[in-house]
Amino acid sequence: MCGLTHTKSVRRRSLDLRLDTLGDWRRTHYSSDLSPQLDGKESIVFGWIASIRHQGNITFIILADKDGFTQITVKRGEVSDELYEKVQRLTAHTSIGVKGVLRAISKAPKGVEILPKEIKILSFATQNPPTSLYGRRLPSIDKRLEIRAVDLRRPAAQALFKIRQEVLKALRAYLLDNGYHEVHTPKIISSATEGGAALFPMLYYDKEAFLTQSPQLYKEQLVMAFEKVFEIGPAFRAEQSRTLEHLSEFISVDIEEAYVDYRDLMDRLESMIKWVVNVVSKKCANEFKTIGYKLEPLQGFKRYTYDEVLNILAEHGCRLEWGEDLGSATLNALAKHNPSFYFIVDWPAQSKPFYIAPKDKNSKISESFDLMYGSLEVASGGTRVSSRKLLEKRLKEKGLNPKSFAYHLKIFDYGMPPHAGFGLGFERLLMALTGQSNIREVTYFPRDQRHLTP
């Protein structure tokens, strides 16, 4: 049946259907609470219809809730004629409540089905989504984003976002357990930290302001009082390039710590990711099965200096001038050399932001690192400049006006300790851990040049 005809007939069916209200019905079980041991118990469940199948005088409804699926079995003759009629008009995605009796049955999900006594139709789905819940061939991400909230009902999407939630929980738990203090810094700022080109300007009362590109300067300031801080929050970049790895708004996992340098922070980042992989691969075994991806335990992360990378690239036939950034062709060559996690360390100072410390006073090399996963940059960080004089010099070298950073520079006069930190792109980490090649797949409502809605 073509989509349009289907939608028309569904509309017709819905016209004379009276919607019920929630009233005093309250859920007794989620699908995850059900088991054959509950045989004979009364139950009220809610959810949306994942599928409905009519077989002779029996209708099977698979009801989805946040945790999984429940089978509702409606037999003509065992339910009232009125209820049987009502069920015949139900459509996929319709939201219902079911009151009935649980019956153990080995073939149903969780080994139990519900024999309904009453069904409430709470919201009738008049539209047939272009995405099949179980289909292998998916419409393009752009098409699916048009009704993202519905697209997220697909079991594979549910699994991906359950993994997202568990990765987030594991990151936070790891950092709290290791003595980091969670902070929140302003998202409306007065001056750029990560290069002027990628800023979103906005009007802040009568002044020009910007959406923050990263919590960089604030997290540095906060180590004065808290020593070890982290923040998990949004960062905004007016990215000019449309790629599979860039969003205009992403979640950044930021860490900053006093009395350490970039080597300690690389150890920290490596240990954090290994711990997260360990936790999540156990907790989300079913979800990884659903998305068809195997998360392998990680080996030690190799550390290549920028100079070593140039040599590796030369072996692969890519010649770069010292100081040049690594473009996508060179990153693809690197991914062939190492498809897993590895660090690139000791970048040319000229390619890193003003707050990254040079290796020594006049060095062209900086104490910096990028964490890569194949060709994907997952995190970057380094030892920070902790002297006000040097920071002013670095600002000028980068063509920035120290006056715009006066609020930041003055803090350095009060004994700023040596410190280091990193920022990790949360969605990029998820891409690496779930084998997704498009960052939009692991983002609820992606923002990019073409998507300001939904």
Least CB distance to ligand AMO at residue 88 (A):
48
The amino acid sitting at 237 is: R
Q: Count CB atoms within 10 A of the CB of residue 130.
A: 14
Tokens of 145: 């984003």
Measured from the CB atom, the residue of 265 and 291 that comes closer to ligand AMO is 265
Least CB distance to ligand AMO at residue 133 (A):
29
The helix-helix angle for 262-283 and 426-434 (nearest 10°) equals 50
Least CB distance to ligand AMO at residue 337 (A):
19
Least CB distance to ligand AMO at residue 168 (A):
15
Write out the residues near ligand AMO by the rule CB under 6 A: 194, 214, 216, 237, 239, 246-247, 250, 252, 254, 377-382, 421-425, 427-428
94, 87 contact by CB (below 8 A): no
The amino acid sitting at 89 is: R
Tokens of 17: 């259907």
Sign of CA dihedral 219, 220, 226, 228: positive
**Nearest alpha-carbon partner for 108 in 209, 34, 24:** 34
Least CB distance to ligand AMO at residue 266 (A):
12
Measured from the CB atom, the residue of 91 and 443 that comes closer to ligand AMO is 443
Least CB distance to ligand AMO at residue 368 (A):
8
Least CB distance to ligand AMO at residue 119 (A):
45
Q: Got the DSSP string for 312-369? A: HHHHTT----TT----HHHHHHHHHH--SEEEEES-BGGGS-TTBPBSSTT-SBBSEE
> How far apart are the C-alpha atoms of 380 and 346, rounded to whole Å?
12
Least CB distance to ligand AMO at residue 208 (A):
21
The amino acid sitting at 416 is: M
Question: What does DSSP assign to residue 197?
Answer: G
Measured from the CB atom, the residue of 109 and 233 that comes closer to ligand AMO is 233
Q: Does a cis peptide bond (omega within 30 degrees of 0) precede residue 454?
A: yes
Q: Got the DSSP string for 252-300? A: EEEEEEES--HHHHHHHHHHHHHHHHHHHHHHTHHHHHHHT---PPP-P
Give alpha helix (H) positions in 125-201. 141-145, 148-151, 155-177
Which residue's CB atom is positioned nearest to ligand AMO? 425
Measured from the CB atom, the residue of 50 and 429 that comes closer to ligand AMO is 429
Find the Cα–Cα–Cα–Cα dihedral 204, 210, 215, 220, rounded to 10°. -80
